[in-house]
Each structure stands twice: as C-alpha cells, then as structure tokens.
Structure 1
C-alpha cells in the first residue's frame, strides 16, 4: 500500500491495535466482539473442537470482527464516498464485510484472496466435515460472483478456481503475486564466518508433532484411540506428508554429508527462525531424530533482521508438505520465495510439483528436490560446503529478476486491477 499512496487516498480498517502502513494512510483500529470468556470455558472443558465445528469459518476469531467493521466502514462510506473497497483475506470471514457494504451502498468491491481457501497445499486440504468443505467451496465461488474483481497470488489456484466459474465471471480473476523490496536487501549482502556453513530457514515450520512420539509410542492402543477421536468427522481431500514440513529430512542430509566428510563435524548447522511450537515439543522431536547438535531453534525476529540473516547465511532452505504421488499439482507459493530470490544466496527448495516448483524452476542458484529426497539434499549441501571451505563460496546473481519481484511492480499490477474496476463502473453508470 505504501507504493499506492502517491496516487490513491487510502483508509484502512484493521483489527490491529496499532498499525503504520504508510505516511499518508489513515488507519482505523476496530476491536472485535470476540467472546473470550466463553472460548476459555470451551477450552478448559476440552471442547475446542466443538467450538470450531459450530462457529462459522472454522471458529475464526475474525468472524466476531465482521459486524463492528461493517458499522465503521459504512460510516466512512457515507461520510467520504470512496471509489471502491478492497478486502484483504485471510481470514476468509472478513469477505462478508465487503459483500454487505456492496449490498448496502452499491460500492465496487475487490477481494484480495491471498491463498485460495480450497487450496489443498494449505488449510483447504482438511475440514471439520464434508459439510464444511462444501461450504468453503460455495463461499469462494459466492465471493467471486458478487465481487467486481478477485485477486489471487498463485497462478495454479487462479486457473483451478477460474474453470469452475461461469464465463461471465471468469474475467474477474486476476493474478498479483507477493513481492519484496530491493532496497531492503541492497545493503545486506554480508557474508562472514569462513569456518562454518550455515543453513537458514526463516518463517513458520510445522510437522514437529509427527516426530514427538517414538514409533513404539505411536502404536499404543490408547494413542491410536486418541488420534481417532481428534480426527473424528474430519474430511480430507488428500494426505499431505506433514513430516516434510519439518527440518528432519534436511537434518538427515547434513548428517550424511558429515558422515562422508568427518572433517566437517560441528561446522555445519541449521538455524530456524520463527518457530511457534513450544520448546519442549521441538526439543523432544530433535532428540528423537538425533539432530539436537545440528538444528537450532530461534524465536521470530524483526523483518529487517530476518533480511540480514537471509543475506548472510550460506544456504537458504524452504519446504512444503509433500503431496501424494499422482496427486494434482499444488497451488501454494510461499511468501518467502520472493524474499529468498532477492538475495544472492543459494536456495534449496524441498517442494512437490506445483506453484512454488514452477516459479523457482530455472532461477539462478536454486536447487529443487522432493521434500523427502535426503540423497538429493546431501548432494547439494556437499557441493556448496566443499566450494565454501575451498575458499570459493557460491554467489548467485539474481539482480535481473529484482524488478519483477519488487513491491513497486506488484503495486502497479494491483493498481491496474483497481483501475479496471473503476473503468467498468464508469461504463455502467
């Protein structure tokens, strides 16, 4: 939005208590009506699953923000007569704010979907029930048909959803990807520590509970019953391998590289920044895999520091849950993809065929392997470590694609969508 404020007057309604999104952007912080006491009672009674099952949009807290946001937005529309409303999702329940405002005032509405709620690489793979899945599909289509434009960040997701829309609505769908700011990385190309090889992963990493219990523990009857009760009624479109969203396969690759080159012992490490899991969970999972001396967990860091880490490590790693063999290619693309590509660091991507795979394919200094391909990871790590310790660390010049990745370019694409909506409005008036 900071790249749009020069040509647009922007006012933001948000749940955040304080938010600075631009020098001339006016922000209105609106509190939700979330019944915290009631939710805590459900949680203490271990009835959270029932709460999430019964509350619309899988129990999203944002659902209780919809009405106060509508009231504030309707007031602003009456007072200031804006040209259009843009609704950013996720969470998906906030889409109703845009719909109601359009019905009440006739103002054009643009939905920025982020990822599709029915993308099987993400939460769109698992639902509380078949009914919840059907409702998610209906909701996505309903939003599109009642919008003036809908934006996706993934070409595959856009194409998949577009095929299901009536011909009259298909031209409403637009692609505007995430990006990164070249200026944020311009002075961060710093590489130090010639004695160690550092692999970094920046962002949330899952799959820890898949390794929390030993194989023997998982086979105990009471644990099988507990797992059954937790998943009762759940509807899944396919079985993603959540193990591969963890650092364990990468850790095995590092161990294999050290076994092949004992002189590298204690000189290669994996640093993860931004874990949301309790320390006791990550510690036990790493101990069960004998990776405590290779993988190190760190709290989330400010964005500027994250960029410095990305630019100073020896290898950037990213992974997504592996999809089953023969499954349709996935539609998710990680936001860190664009930030990683802004650096001159080698990138190792453990991803199945899909949007992320497509976008990284052919980019300089990027190695793509299957998320469970320990041998392939070992080969890449061995090559890069050998080069560094020989005094010739790999530098990957990707400056030619920086303009494409830049927020300024993405903002221009976003503005084109808004201009198209306003042009159509003028033709219809």
Structure 2
C-alpha cells in the first residue's frame, strides 16, 4: 500500500511497513481510555481503532475504561462501535459516581478559580491508579498507554509506571493546555495548566500528538521534554467503513451534510463577553470560536434563499449529531429553517451513510490570528476526505486546511466568510444540477490516514520503547 508521508510530520521519515508484521512474542499493553465503547462520539474512535488493529501488529491491548453511566451529550451510547471491539480483548471497567459528572456551578467555579482538579478528573485518576496497578502487577504488560483526555490520566499512568517500573506512553487526542480553542478562567490559569501539562508528561517514554502542528508546538513550548519523545500520529478513517455501494439519501435533494457537534453555544457566549474574555485572557488573542458552528453558514443559506427562493424545494442541510439548545435555537430563528433536517445522534454506521452519500460536506473550524496555525484537526475531516465527496471547508491556516487541500476535494474559504460560503454553495449546487464530474480525489494521499496504516505506525513507535 502506497502511503504519502506528511511533509510537516516530524516522524514522516519512519516508513510504514508494506505488510503487517506479527512479532513473537506478543507484547501486552495496558491501554487506558476513558472514552471507549459502548460510549460513542468522536473521542472514542481513535482508541477503538488502535485496540481493533494492534493485535494484528503483535500487541495485546488490555483495556481499562469507565463503566457506562448516564448518557451525556458528548458520550452517547453507540452499539455499532462496541461491536468492533475484538472478542479476544480484555476490557476492565471502573465505575464513577454520577454526581462527579455534573458538579454544581459553585463547586466548579471554585475549583477552576483555585486551579484545582475537577472532582471528576480526580476520581478518574484515583480509580485508574488503583485498578491499573492491580492489572499491571497481574498481567505484566510491557508498557502503559494512556489516551488523553481526561488529562488526569497522565498522572495516573505515571504513578502506575512509578509503582511497577513499566514505561508509559501519553497519547493526546487534543493539545491540552496548548489547545487554542479551550477556555480558561484567566491567562494566569492557562499558564498554570501549561505548568501542570509539562509536569505530568515529563516521565513519559513517548508523547504522541495527533497533528503535526501540535507536535511542533509541544516541542517549542516545553524544550525540556526531550524532542525524540515527541511524535505526531493523526486521526483517520477505517477502510472497512467505506466498502460496498453508497446508499443514496432519500428524497433526491442536494444534500449538504455535517456530522458531529457544532460549537455555537460557546461561540455565542464568547461573542457576548468578548471584552471580558480579552481583559481576563480567557482565550488566545485573535481566536474566534463561533465560526466552528453553523452560525455563518446560516447567513449564507439565508442569502441564498433571498437570491433564489426555489432552492427550498431542492436543497437540504442535514445535521447528523446532537444539537445543543443554542444550536437548535439558531436554526429555529432563521429563515433558512425549512432547509434543515436534523437527525440527532446516529450510530457510526448510519452517520457514515450520510457522509458517503453527501453532495457537499460541511467542515467548519474556529478563526485564528494571523501567523498562527490551528493545533487541531476535527476527527470528521478524515472520514470526509475518505468519502471522496466535495468538502465546504471553512478553515484557517492549519493542518486541516493543508490536508483537505491535498485531498483534492476541498472547496476552501476562511472561517466566517459568508460571501465565500455562498459562492461555494451556488457553485456546487450548479454542478449537482448539471451532473458535473466529481472533484479530482487524491486517494493515494488520503490512504495514509487509514486506521490500519496509522496503527502500524503506532506499533513501530511502541517497539522502539525501552
């Protein structure tokens, strides 16, 4: 399989093997992941796919996760994902009391103000240390792998490592204190979080960031973390999810599809409190959160309806995912509401059915200050690229923008660019009406993000740990 290396990836020189080797003996890995099936959502898939394919690469993952609790917006149940966990994989669960998930507002504010861990994070850390130490002593794994967030998992893995002498690996699905999208009480609290991040990662034998930019940012911010312990390993897509015929979306409409979550709620609050946020340093200067939602797309759709009222009969904006009250309120108040079809959360299989059949996929991200790249790539981006469908990508300078551009299917404009979105919508609709050819999809480039390829790369990193 021909995989194209990432030009900006600090580990691009490590070639992916042409075939999957199966070393002997098999290496055991204590795999700590709070987000794991039967929970669904974007945070689950990276861990699930590693666990699914590591056995083919000579590793035996022993999973330590949380017992399913009451469903929350970010952790819906998804049996389709649970069915992908190999029967041979041992899964251990710890149970967190429901009350730690939903602390009172005063408690949460007090803990954040004092720079204290949340009760949820502290409880998760303590349970993982207790149960993880028992598993490590009994199973004798060669290494401990923890996927973050919750970020308290880093200290839990470090403590298990200290007690057992087993090396540990930190896998950051988000850039933690270096994530420009995250809110902090003040700039001072952001600095405290950076200090905590460096302390927590110091003893890791390997630190895996999920974008090239976040890996670069980590090494630059914390030079005391040895450069050779920092690698980049992106999220991706599973080729097995893209087999078979594409099933058309019923109705024969021009279908614009967005999968996953919008972030209108936090963006609207930021917009309302912009001066306060700026004075307190709650956000990184120049970052705007609202474009990572349907807020500006709604404006483009409203203008499109004014220009051509007939599209109400021909166009549908299909939202596949859980909407917040703010997300739904924006739609309800908009003249473009007749265009919207909101399915709510669908299991991963059903979600991909929409993605694969879309006439246009919507991929928004937040706005960044000039000269700064975004440190994250939404997980949906990889499945969007794998579909080969056109992507309306409202992206700042970022790995996401670079990837979508190289994939050949991106219709790019800046975050919040209403005029650019409107022009793209009209152009893609015109092509759909005329039956014009699909974009020139660079499948060879996209193939490097296939989950088996990524797991093989992970396995090569893990074999180097001593």
Determine which of 29, 34, 39 is the counterpart of 2:93. 29
Deviation at 1:396, TM superposition (A): 5.2
Partner of 1:180: 237
Q: Which runs of 5+ in 1 are unaligned?
A: 219-223
Question: Does residue 1:268 correspond to 2:319, yes or no?
Answer: no
CA root-mean-square deviation: 2.9
Question: Does residue 1:411 correspond to 2:458, yes or no?
Answer: no
Question: Does residue 1:257 correspond to 2:296, yes or no?
Answer: no
**Distance change >3 Å, CA 298–CA 193, structure 1 → 2:** closer
Q: Which moved more, 1:399-408 or 1:363-372?
A: 399-408
Partner of 2:109: 49
Looking at structure 2, the residues matched to 372 and 228 of structure 1 have their Cα atoms a distance apart, in angstroms, of: 20
SS state at 1:183 partner: helix
* Aligned partners of 2:236 and 2:379 also within 8 Å: yes
**Distance change >3 Å, CA 283–CA 336, structure 1 → 2:** closer
Give the number of equivalent residue pairs.
402
Question: Does residue 1:111 correspond to 2:170, yes or no?
Answer: yes
SS state at 2:53 partner: coil
Partner of 2:205: 148
**Distance change >3 Å, CA 283–CA 28, structure 1 → 2:** closer
Determine which of 241, 256, 264 is the counterpart of 2:288. 241
Question: Does residue 1:9 correspond to 2:60, yes or no?
Answer: yes
SS state at 2:128 partner: helix
Partner of 2:365: 320
Looking at structure 2, the residues matched to 360 and 328 of structure 1 have their Cα atoms a distance apart, in angstroms, of: 18
* Aligned partners of 2:301 and 2:336 also within 8 Å: no
**Distance change >3 Å, CA 282–CA 337, structure 1 → 2:** closer
Looking at structure 2, the residues matched to 48 and 317 of structure 1 have their Cα atoms a distance apart, in angstroms, of: 34
Question: Does residue 1:363 correspond to 2:407, yes or no?
Answer: yes
Matches within 5 A, 1:114-129: 114-123=173-182, 126-129=183-186
TM-score by length of 1: 0.85
Deviation at 1:263, TM superposition (A): 3.7
* Aligned partners of 1:115 and 1:153 also within 8 Å: yes
Looking at structure 2, the residues matched to 86 and 402 of structure 1 have their Cα atoms a distance apart, in angstroms, of: 27
SS state at 2:324 partner: coil
Looking at structure 2, the residues matched to 209 and 404 of structure 1 have their Cα atoms a distance apart, in angstroms, of: 33
Deviation at 1:178, TM superposition (A): 0.7
Looking at structure 2, the residues matched to 210 and 81 of structure 1 have their Cα atoms a distance apart, in angstroms, of: 46
Looking at structure 2, the residues matched to 94 and 15 of structure 1 have their Cα atoms a distance apart, in angstroms, of: 12
Q: Deviation per CA, 1:205-231, whole angstroms, max 9, x where unpaired?
A: 011465699x9xx7xxxxx7xx99999
**Distance change >3 Å, CA 291–CA 228, structure 1 → 2:** same
Deviation at 1:87, TM superposition (A): 0.7
SS state at 1:136 partner: helix
Deviation at 1:391, TM superposition (A): 3.2
TM-score by length of 2: 0.78
Question: Does residue 1:388 correspond to 2:432, yes or no?
Answer: yes
Matches within 5 A, 1:123-138: 123=182, 126-138=183-195
Looking at structure 1, the residues matched to 100 and 136 of structure 2 have their Cα atoms a distance apart, in angstroms, of: 30
Partner of 1:221: none
Q: Which runs of 5+ in 2 are unaligned?
A: 1-50, 70-81
Q: Which moved more, 1:380-389 or 1:393-402?
A: 393-402
Looking at structure 2, the residues matched to 142 and 75 of structure 1 have their Cα atoms a distance apart, in angstroms, of: 25
Looking at structure 2, the residues matched to 49 and 168 of structure 1 have their Cα atoms a distance apart, in angstroms, of: 31
Q: Deviation per CA, 1:2-46, whole angstroms, max 9, x where unpaired?
A: 111231122111113396632211000011367549x65x34xx5
Partner of 1:196: 253
Looking at structure 1, the residues matched to 366 and 212 of structure 2 have their Cα atoms a distance apart, in angstroms, of: 19
Deviation at 1:122, TM superposition (A): 2.2
Looking at structure 2, the residues matched to 195 and 137 of structure 1 have their Cα atoms a distance apart, in angstroms, of: 50
Deviation at 1:344, TM superposition (A): 2.2
**Distance change >3 Å, CA 207–CA 48, structure 1 → 2:** same
SS state at 1:76 partner: helix
Matches within 5 A, 1:216-227: none
Looking at structure 2, the residues matched to 299 and 387 of structure 1 have their Cα atoms a distance apart, in angstroms, of: 29
